[in-house]
Amino acid sequence: MSEIPTLTKRRLQAQVIGPIHAEMVEQLGEEKANAILDAAIRKAAIAEGRYFAEKAGTTSMADFIKLYELWTADGALEMKVLKADDETFDFDITRCRYAETYKEMGLGKIGHLLSCNRDGTFCQGYDPNITLERKQTIMEGAPCCTFRYRYKAGDQ
């Protein structure tokens, strides 16, 4: 059984989440609604990371890099890889169809909550030795997204 491409999955999720978020904004205000959505999406990303870690059995930066095929499927992301080895995965996203999709759906204002905040949070569930530093995103108006993942083996 093949999985639904991630871009398609995010579009379907946004079709449900968008109206729920709008109702939360109406009843609770934008700040509270965004905080609830942010917390829920982060928890979902950690759970998804755990799922992929359990499915893999063992995790490493090399395995993590292979997972990116899920997020780039169907041309969802255009990326320029700067460095990829056992401790580093640096790349820039030069086109983000996730951002384009949310904008088309009228959800550009919460796109960072729906997708971008998943990126580093996913690692907490997948392998907490992997961390992300990102200074800018297309979703928030930058010309590219800067992804800088690091793998640092913990004290075990």
What CATH number is attached to the domain comprising 125? 3.30.1380
pLDDT band at 3 (very low <50, low <70, confident <90, very high): confident
Spatial distance between the Cα atoms of 17 and 37, rounded to a whole number of angstroms: 9
Q: pTM for this one?
A: 0.91
In a domain, residue 68? The reply is: yes
Average pLDDT of 107-119? Answer: 95
pLDDT of residue 1: 36
| CA gap 135, 58 in Å, rounded | 29
As a whole number, mean pLDDT of residues 3-22 equals 94
CB 86 within 8 A of CB 94: no
pLDDT digits (tens, 9 = 90+) for 36-52: 999 999 999 999 999 99
Burial class (CB within 10 angstroms; exposed 0-12, middle 13-18, buried 19+) of 44:
middle
Domain of 29 in residue numbering reads as 6-151
The answer to whether residue 13 sits within a structural domain is yes
Is 140 part of a structural domain of the chain? yes
Q: Is 109 among the domain residues?
A: yes
pLDDT at residue 111, rounded to an integer: 96
Q: Is residue 73 part of a domain?
A: yes
pLDDT at 155 exceeding the cut of 80: no
Work out how many domains the chain is built from and give that number.
Answer: 1
Q: What is the per-residue pLDDT for 31?
A: 98
Instruction: For residue 1, count other CB atoms closer than 10 A to its CB.
Output: 2
| Burial (Cβ within 10 Å: 0-12, 13-18, ≥19) of residue 38 | middle
In this prediction, residue 90 carries a pLDDT of 98
Q: Confirm whether 113 is domain-assigned.
A: yes
